[in-house]
Amino acid sequence: MIVPVNRLGMTISMFILFLCAGNASAQDNSGIVKYTNPKLSVEERVSDLVSRMSLKEKVMQMQNNAPAISRLGIPAYNWWSECLHGVARNGIATVFPQAIGMAATWDPELIYKEADVISTEARAKYYECSSQGKRGIYQGLTFWSPNINIFRDPRWGRGQETYGEDPFLTGRIGIEFVKGLQGNDPKYFKVIATAKHYAVHSGPEPARHSFDAWCSERDLYETYLPAFEYLIRCGKAYSVMGAYNRFWNEPCTASDLLLDKILRKKWGFSGYVTSDCGAIWDIYNGHKLQPDSIRASVLGVKAGCDLTCGDEYTSLVNAVKKGYISESEIDVSVKRLFTARFRLGLFDPDSLVQWSRIKPSENNTPSHDQLALKVAEESMILLKNEKNTLPFGKNIKKIAVIGPYADRVTVLLGNYCGTPSNPVTILKGIRDMAGSKIDVLYAKGVDGLEDASYPPKDKSGKPIPQPSATDLEAQALQIAGMADAIVFVGGISPYLEGEEMDVNIPGFSGGDRTSLDLPANQANFLKKLAIIEKPIVLVLTNGSALALGRGAENVKAVLETWYPGQKGGIAVAEVLFGKYNPAGRLPVTFYNSVDELPPFTEYSMKGRTYRYFTGTPLYPFGFGLSYSKFKYLEAAADKGKYSSADTIKINVKVKNEGPLDGDEVAQVYFQKKDSKFERPVKSLCGFLRKNIRNGSTETIVLKVAANDLRIFDPSRQDYYIEPGTYDLLIGPDSGTASLTVSIEVR
């Protein structure tokens, strides 16, 4: 008899009692109850297990907080865990840069390594918790990450959770993140990744429970769906989360079009679908599409939503009694859910599951800490550097570090984060890097806009009295006058932008933004600092694009750091002092003003992102400076004509004419000027980050799948590779990519 007692918490006595009372007809030839036999297929085992469950037991397993079924030896399991940029909300774990910073690396291979570390820490934490009988929220192996919604508008507060505005970049980063999480074992998932929020979802936050998003078929298939298709087809993501909002008047979490026709029938998805939390409740309470919980739950399950984050599906027992849905339809969802648990190895002995060798000690290790630093380094984007202000030279003997976020841990983390064991703030990173040779002075200067709502407190919980705004400014101006250079650490924080937040400060609303400008108090103070006539370096913390026209016009250098993770302070200091040559690239467009954008509630892509924006941006998508200068010399394709199934190889010669070794991110965009379809201005179709030694010339090979030149054809109701000539534009960013290679696709 095989008794699968691993770390599930099943007792041997419980299991033997069950076997003695079992149905002999449900045993295999060896006398073993089928679902306990690892030698049988997962399908056979799941079918056997579900056949033993009552309707009520089945329905209860369709909640995120699934209770134990003691008589079957099934422990409780909570499906809700988070790992957007590290294992989140479950104690100490390695905290990597926020997702938008991960995208800024333009380095999918690095993000694969990050995700592999995250899934190792997830297993380590799971085994630590389960060994103590802990099976609560955030303690499982099914993770509701990544967020691959397209960051169509910088006002969306949750854009920080995404990989930016481009479907191709989002897909390439997302595929590797999913692969790193789910592992490479052909039988057992390391953890399960969930692609969210499916689909056509990117704000506004305050209206998400009742909002109906509308866009054209072309925008749907060419902007909002491709990243999900990439993750399902190429990344093999085994879970999908539906969005809160409606799309074309169907709730996304119960959309026959999205969940059945596209996800399962068109893309061949075989995993399970979960609702966002309370999204089934929203069907009748927010969207007003059904009269009650019973009808909303039936709608969700029939469309293909297998799991609810909530308790709405408890009403399905009555739904079956009323004839609204059959038990066999419920069985489909329950089987999908248990297939996932079996494929995680949760019903098999440890000896069969390679991931069970991961120990609790493999969480938060020094090597993981170093990888967090590596990702932070690669995410740094130098946006401005007048007169080579950076890196600081030997003439800099005293630095004034000023700003509301210089010494604040929260701006390292962003949202959906874990707890770092040894975070390094930007101030600490600068001080440590400066050592004893450079004097580092510090003053806050101005408050963050959120400070009035989140004042520092003493050990008893009482607010600590803070200096007045006048005193803060005076202190900062005094040290600025004593310094050789000024580092102002400003921008915004995760207390201002994020998910459905209770924030109503000028420029912010419910987690979203109404303005792209620097906060007014920072902009005004930067003008006062400029009067001192010392070089000012603006270090930004933020999760979305900022308009830097007001207040920042006099700064000599701008470094974009996002929310850079637990070692963000070290990465920033390395760039400032020239220990690291920055090479991050923007995954979003930086606009000059919110006035350049269409209304936030419009989901048409016209006028949005580099693909459809016809104005001149502040900084274009893909932009980023270096301490080196890279010159694109020539480019040539491996041949002139291609079929739609081919991979186009472009050899690009790039010379590093600068004084330092450095990474260059070569990018290729495509255009088809004689198309019979309405097309974007240009679209990313390939990129590669490569290190080039100073003074040397390297050949970078950019690979473009001809299939990625596709367009949606409404007459075919499918994608189409339009025959003809395509121009491939190669260069360092979307604004200046001009080295052109023309190819023909037949």
Residues serving a catalytic function are 276, 497
In Å, how far are 433, 588, 612, 687 from 169, measured between CA atoms? 33, 10, 16, 9
DSSP letter at 67?
P
Radius of gyration of the chain (CA): 27
Asked if residues 481 and 528 have their Cβ atoms less than 8 Å apart, the reply is no
Compute the 3-state secondary structure of the chain and give helix, strand, coil in percent, each to the nearest 5: 35, 20, 45
The 3-class secondary structure across 206-224, one letter per residue, is: HHCCCCEECCCHHHHHHHH
For the stretch 611-614, contacts whose Cβ atoms lie closer than 8 Å and that sit 24 or more positions apart, written own/partner, are 611/165, 611/166, 611/223, 611/680, 611/681, 611/682, 611/683, 612/680, 612/681, 613/589, 613/681, 614/681
**Residue 688 exposed, middle or buried by CB count within 10 Å (0-12, 13-18, 19+):** middle
In Å, how far are 96, 158, 324, 376, 571 from 111, measured between CA atoms? 10, 20, 45, 11, 17
Q: How far apart are CA 279 and CA 283, in angstroms?
A: 7
Q: How many CA atoms lie within 13 A of 546 on its CB side?
A: 28
CA-wise closest residue to 111 among 226, 193, 233: 193
Give the sign of the dihedral formed by CA 435, CA 437, CA 443, CA 447: negative
Asked if residues 390 and 558 have their Cβ atoms less than 8 Å apart, the reply is no
Structure tokens at 18: 């069950």
**Residue 441 exposed, middle or buried by CB count within 10 Å (0-12, 13-18, 19+):** middle
Q: How far apart are CA 654 and CA 671, in angstroms?
A: 22
- Which helix (DSSP H) or strand (DSSP E) does residue 111 occupy? helix 108-131
Q: What are phi and psi of 546, to 5 degrees?
A: -120, 140
